């Protein structure tokens, strides 16, 4: 593949191939980028490749893309368990576990294998962590940005782009061109503050709905109906919590509470009890609702 694809870039690196990483890798390959996906082990490599290929096959089966498009995307994808194979990338998105220590360790390891004079834009895909804190793990803090993609990556149109106080304007501009022109996303600029824009509004709303249910103020069905049929939301806050994963939601809320000391983010006891019981929402078959 030759020439620029989107935003002047054509070589994309993705670190991690879980739900979000796989979605990013697939979207990048379908958008015409040469994508290298780096994972931590051979087992993760096999699982990640299978996840991406299965998703592409589903898109063909549903008529969203043709078989030729699927084959072209597969041809642009490669997988590795060696970070050094990302050294020639022009933009790298880290999408591992939502944990500052884990992400910082990955960034430090990546920094060690990149050329000292590199100008690679490094993005951490995060829903709640401070970008400036993660940028401190690398030499070129000015090249670090944050991205907050939404699940599923391929169909949700929005992405938040976060610049830390140390992010160079050119690095942020390159990232925005990649997101908007390369991936076709609507970009919202967010400050490097707890919750950015979306979760600063959404998480307190979801915590309030859970507290309302916990107190017996209303049933789950009535709370969600109030927001879908009364306010036009596509999904009620409790159904959305189940879709997100109650363990993920609790972790994000707790992290935001610890960063901000804002009681609006504090996870209610009901949420924590459901997580402890293993009722994690759709993925476990039970949360605020039961699922087949």
125 in active site = no
Catalytic residue (one of 160, 163, 176, 241):
160
94 in active site = no
Query: Cβ distance 106 to 26 under 8 Å?
Result: no
The 3-state DSSP class for residue 177 equals helix
- Cα–Cα–Cα angle for 59, 60, 63, nearest 5°? 85
Catalytic residue (one of 148, 163, 164, 176):
148
In angstroms, rounded to a whole number, what is the distance separating the alpha carbons of residues 20 and 263? Answer: 29
Catalytic residue (one of 125, 163, 199, 241):
199
189 in active site = no
CA distances from 256 to 57, 116, 260, 274 (A): 37, 34, 6, 20
DSSP assignments along 218-249, one per residue: S-HHHHHHHHHHTT--SS-HHHHHHHH-HHHH
CB atoms within 10 A of CB 289: 16
Catalytic residue (one of 59, 95, 127, 137):
127
118 in active site = no
Contacting residues for 41 by C-beta, under 8 A, at least 6 apart: 81
Longest dimension (CA), the chain: 61
What are the residue numbers of the active site?
127, 148, 160, 199
């Amino acid at each position: 593949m030759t020439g620029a694809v989107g935003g002047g870039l054509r070589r994309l690196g993705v670190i991690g191939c879980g739900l979000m990483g796989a979605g990013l890798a697939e979207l990048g390959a379908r958008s015409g980028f040469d994508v290298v996906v780096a994972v931590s082990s051979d087992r993760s490599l096999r699982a990640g490749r299978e996840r991406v290929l299965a998703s592409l096959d589903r898109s063909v089966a549903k008529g969203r893309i043709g078989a030729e498009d699927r084959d072209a995307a597969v041809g642009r994808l490669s997988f590795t368990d060696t970070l050094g194979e990302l050294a020639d990338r022009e933009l790298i998105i880290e999408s591992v576990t939502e944990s500052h220590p884990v992400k910082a360790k990955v960034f430090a390891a990546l920094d060690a294998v990149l050329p000292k004079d590199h100008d690679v834009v490094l993005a951490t895909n995060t829903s709640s962590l401070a970008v400036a804190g993660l940028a401190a793990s690398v030499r070129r803090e000015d090249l670090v940005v944050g991205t907050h993609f939404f699940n599923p990556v391929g169909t949700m149109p929005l992405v938040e782009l976060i610049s830390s106080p140390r992010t160079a304007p050119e690095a942020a501009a390159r990232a925005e061109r990649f997101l908007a022109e390369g991936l076709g996303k609507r970009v919202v600029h967010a400050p490097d503050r707890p919750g950015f824009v979306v979760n600063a509004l959404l998480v307190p709303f979801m915590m309030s709905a859970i507290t309302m249910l916990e107190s017996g103020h209303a049933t789950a069905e009535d709370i969600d109906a109030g927001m879908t049929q009364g306010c036009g939301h596509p999904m009620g806050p409790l159904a959305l919590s189940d879709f997100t994963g109650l363990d993920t939601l609790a972790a994000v809320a707790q992290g935001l509470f610890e960063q901000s000391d804002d009681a609006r983010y504090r996870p209610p006891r009901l949420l924590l009890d459901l997580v402890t019981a293993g009722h994690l929402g759709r993925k476990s078959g039970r949360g605020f609702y039961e699922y087949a």
